[in-house]
Every structure is written in structure tokens, then in C-alpha cells.
Amino acid sequence: MNLMQLVPITAKFKFLKYKLLARVISSLLVVGSIGLIVFKGLNFGIDFTGGIAVEIVKTEGMTVSSLRQQLDSLNPEVQSIGEGKTVSIRLQGSPDEEEEMARLKEMKVILGEGIEYRSVDVVGPKVGGELIERGVYALFFALLAIAFYIWIRFDTIFALGALVALLHDVIITIGFFVLINLEFNLTAVAAILTIAGYSVNDTVVVYDRVRENMRKFRKKEFKDLLDLSLNETFSRTILTSLTTFLAVIALVVFGGNVLASFSYALLFGVIVGTYSSVYIAVPMLRQ
């Protein structure tokens, strides 16, 4: 067997046989994700909330607990990152931008001399609010543009299937952020847009084969035609997902705290995007 053909093109998996089960699972995941978002809420990063985020290199005798005690008056969030050699210090945003700079200066005074700062980020509350608004707009218009592209290239029902699959992926991925308390920042928005692009790429490949088979097999029952199309493209789907998955694992392992939101979201999104292409986008063509 050709090593590049993991699944034979002659395979006869009955994908649509499980479409109702898939819809139940997807519905539960979407409802659960919405519930998490509404009742628990996202762990917004300083990109959106405003505040101060500092990373410093640990010195001898420095511990997370000692830093918390030192900076107790500033009510910090302190955690060890990067194999324990670096410490992240985060101060929640205040309503005054001048006060932000004063707090940063106070923190540096408390920490004293000889501290190596890896990064220092200060975001005012006004800027944070604007970034949330722009992030929402970016997601909305990206999904709209993708649906419009599918509609122009294929047909209305195809566009609807792609849009439902994309919304499914986005909502569940955001729910994943809430579930594992992953920081939601601009990097996370970039990850969600990447997932949407990846998912629609998979969907377009299958839709192309469906359209091609609709011309070739005019008398074939539509359910069987969809299963045939999925089987013919399944090897390509698995190979694409597997190679992307391996690349993202490298990001998870070596990317560190800076890329955590992007890499973990993408790792999860590859799985969800592959699933939605097969069990959400295509079955939507046959109601």
C-alpha cells in the first residue's frame, strides 16, 4: 500500500450512519461550552483587561511565595514558568493609566536592583476595551467572509454547512479556554482565526469532491454519494491533520508560556476542525 495513502480510496466507511450521534455529541459540547463561557467566564489576559504583566528571571533564594509576600500590597498573581527559571507577575488593571505606571515603578522598587526582566507589558483599560471590540469584529467578519466565499464557490446549502461547522469549532474552542483556564488574549484570537481557516480548508476539499461526484453519479442516492466523497478524501484529511498535529505538538513543547494560548488552542482546534468537516459540514448537506 502507498505510504501516503493511509486510508484506501476504495474504503467504504459509513460516516453518515453516525450523524445523529455526532449531532447529539456536538450539541452537548456547544451547550456546555456556552454554559462555561456564561457562568464561569474567560480568563482574559491583560491585552483585554488592561494591567501589568512582567516576567523576571529567578535569583538565588527567590520563590513564588516570597515574591507574593514582597508584593502583597499590589495584590499580584505570581506563578513560575519555563521549568521554574522564570517568574510571571501580573497585576490586574486599574481605571487610571497613570496609576498603572506608578504601580509598575513601585513594583520595581520593591523587587530592588539586580533583577533581570525578560518582558514588561503595560496595557491601559481603554486600550484593553478597544482590543476586545476589535477581536470580536475580527472573528465576526472572518466567519462572514468565509461563508460568503463558500456561497459564491458552491451554493447556499454548502455555505450554511460551512458556517455551522465554523461556529461549532469557534464556540467549542472558546469553551476549551474556559475549561482549562487558559489565558484568552490576542494570541488566542489569532489561534481561533487559524483554526477557522484550517477547518474551512478541510471542508472545501470535501465539498469539491461532493460537487464532482454529484455530476458523475446523478442517480446515486445522496447519502451514499456523501459517504463516497468522505471516503475518497479521508486519507488526505488524516494526513493533513496528522502533520499539523505533530507541528503543533512541537509548539506546545518548546513554545513556552508566550505561545501557550496559541499552541494549546491550535492543538485542540485541529481535532475539532477535522471532526466538524466530516460530521458537521458534510451531513448538513442532507437534512
pLDDT in tens, 42-69: 888 777 777 788 888 877 777 788 888 8
For the chain, which domains are there? 15-44+128-285 (1.20.1640.10), 51-123 (3.30.70.1150)
Return the pLDDT at 125. 64
Return the pLDDT at 3. 46
For residue 271, give the H/E element and its range. Answer: helix 260-276
Among 161, 192, 150, smallest CA distance to 19 is for 161
CA-CA distance, 49 to 35, in Å (whole number)?
Answer: 22
Return the pLDDT at 8. 57
List the helix and strand counts (H, then E) for the chain. Answer: 9, 6
Return the pLDDT at 38. 93
Return the pLDDT at 1. 46
pTM across the whole model: 0.81
Q: What is the mean pLDDT of each run of 10 residues along the chain (287 residues)?
A: 53 81 94 94 81 81 81 81 76 70 83 81 72 83 84 84 90 93 86 88 88 84 86 85 88 76 89 90 79
For residue 168, give the H/E element and its range. Answer: helix 156-179
Q: Which residues contact 207 (CB under 8 A, 6 or more apart)?
A: 150, 154, 158, 162, 281, 282
